[in-house]
Amino acid sequence: MPNLEKFSIGVGDRFAREAKAQLEAVKKAYENGIGISPVWNKSYREHQIIGSSPKSTIEAVQKAVKELNWSHGYFLDADHISLKNVDFFIDICNFFTIDIAEEINASLSEDEERKLRNLILKLGFQTQLANLPIFQWNESFVANFLKTYGKALLEAQKIYRYILTKHSRQQNVIEISMDEGPVAQSAQEIYLILYLLTQLNVKLDTIAPRFAGLFLKGIDYQGNTEQFKNQTADFLKVLQWFQKHSGQPEHLKLSLHTGSDKFSLYPILNRLLNQFQTGLHLKTAGTTWLEELIGLCEGGAAGLQFVKSLYRSAIAQMDQLLQPYAAIVRIDRQNLPLPDELDNWNAEQLVRSLRHNQSDSLFNKDLRQLFHISYGLAAQYGNTFYELLETYRSEIERNVTENLFDRHIKPLFLGG
């Protein structure tokens, strides 16, 4: 593999314009003594909404790599793939996030059920991993577990094998994700999931469980942070066991899909990473696009006018925009200004409402979520939008780099 560091960060670049500014932020981390592999992630859904392809992302990334003389590894993530869309990514990507969420609760044939049940029963009815309470199960637990995860794990094996028909295992990162599935996992379930994947000869670099609490797009975590801390610590213990005692790679690590900006979790995660001396992949979403909007507002009148006009369209088409994001965006419509009202705002008001600074009295998380899902509208403006991105390049890049380094990398990986 082209050297995936112990720490890695997934970033989104909706319009393939900000790879350099994002890479600058990661470069600053290396300058501060922490190696973090950059991973550009963009899902099939995002490509469809914009009408882009992985080729545009990799070209932008390669250009940035050249301009900054980047000598470390970098990755392109086929984000949340299934057998249906893996071919869209397969030639270009070197990081594959195999999404099994859709197959959770799908039915198994009797043969499949028997095969998986026998694998679990090889363990007997309990196991104890270092530092964790004894995991115990009985026949009915196993039946329920397989009803929930059995088909999904067999599907993971299929996609995994398919990827390996085109790529060497060593040159690629493989992740299994369940974060968009219907249920959160317990440590015991993660243990059994990893055990079965090992038995099915699926070797992982990272695994993304679903955590308790809400991970909405572009805003902070909503849930019990103490519970998150305990759940994460248990997951890390399970992973450490698999690193040492099983056929999984020693660098197997936890992947946390955040939907971006889970600021209240960063200090907790930083302490856990120190405590366990373990790696982490942090996946953020396309909030770089919001920094583009902030840069446009700060840049000048034409930029500000564009953002106001985009907002008017977003309000008019809010229902369609929300459709693909129903489960991961929650907008309180009462808290959104009317477009006429927003037209009277100056740049500072708009920037302070949009920028994710929770201590700013003007910050509006509903406005932020609406802009977050409006990137498809910006794409419809075509060259008008792309030219503005060039006109206000320096303001945009400053915001993109600052956001990624100061608000994400620093608190999470540097602990400050």
In the complex, minimum distance from the CB of residue 299 to Zn ion, in angstroms, rounded to a whole number = 32
In the complex, minimum distance from the CB of residue 254 to Zn ion, in angstroms, rounded to a whole number = 13
Stretch (H or E) spanning 6: none
Among 179, 205, 234, 298, contact with Zn ion (rule: CB under 5 A):
179
In the complex, minimum distance from the CB of residue 179 to Zn ion, in angstroms, rounded to a whole number = 4
Report CA-CA distances (Å) from 238 to 6, 99, 136, 186, 370: 17, 21, 15, 11, 38
In the complex, minimum distance from the CB of residue 178 to Zn ion, in angstroms, rounded to a whole number = 9
Report CA-CA distances (Å) from 116 to 113, 126, 294: 5, 16, 51
Long-range contact pairs involving 232-237 (C-beta distance under 8 Å, separation at least 24): 232/268, 232/269, 232/272, 233/272, 233/275, 233/276, 234/132, 234/186, 234/187, 235/187, 235/190, 235/209, 236/272, 236/276, 236/278, 237/129, 237/130, 237/131, 237/132, 237/187, 237/276
Residue placing its CB nearer to Zn ion in the complex, 238 or 328: 328
Q: How far apart are CA 412 and CA 416, in angstroms?
A: 8
The pattern of x and - marking residues 120 through 159 that bind Zn ion according to CB under 5 A reads ----------------------------------------
In the complex, minimum distance from the CB of residue 177 to Zn ion, in angstroms, rounded to a whole number = 5
Number of chain positions touching Zn ion (CB under 5 A): 2
Q: Are strands 75-81 and 36-43 parallel, antiparallel or unpaired?
A: parallel
In the complex, minimum distance from the CB of residue 40 to Zn ion, in angstroms, rounded to a whole number = 15
In the complex, minimum distance from the CB of residue 370 to Zn ion, in angstroms, rounded to a whole number = 21
Phi, then psi, of 253 in degrees rounded to 5: -140, 165
Stretch that binds Zn ion, among 39-47, 138-146, 179-187, 378-386 (CB under 5 A): 179-187
Residue placing its CB nearer to Zn ion in the complex, 179 or 366: 179
Stretch that binds Zn ion, among 135-143, 164-172, 254-262, 267-275 (CB under 5 A): 254-262
Give the residue at shortest CB distance from Zn ion: 257
Q: How far apart are CA 280 and CA 7, in angstroms?
A: 5
Our finding on whether 189 is near Zn ion (CB under 5 A) is no
Residue placing its CB nearer to Zn ion in the complex, 146 or 282: 282
The pattern of x and - marking residues 67 through 106 that bind Zn ion according to CB under 5 A reads ----------------------------------------
Residue placing its CB nearer to Zn ion in the complex, 27 or 281: 281
Torsion (CA) 286, 255, 182, 369 in degrees, nearest 10? -20
Residues 255-294 contacting Zn ion, CB under 5 A? 257
> Which three-class secondary structure state does DSSP give residue 80?
strand
Residue 334, exposed/middle/buried by CB under 10 A (0-12, 13-18, 19+)?
Answer: exposed
The pattern of x and - marking residues 390 through 409 that bind Zn ion according to CB under 5 A reads --------------------
Which positions lie near Zn ion, rule CB under 5 A?
179, 257
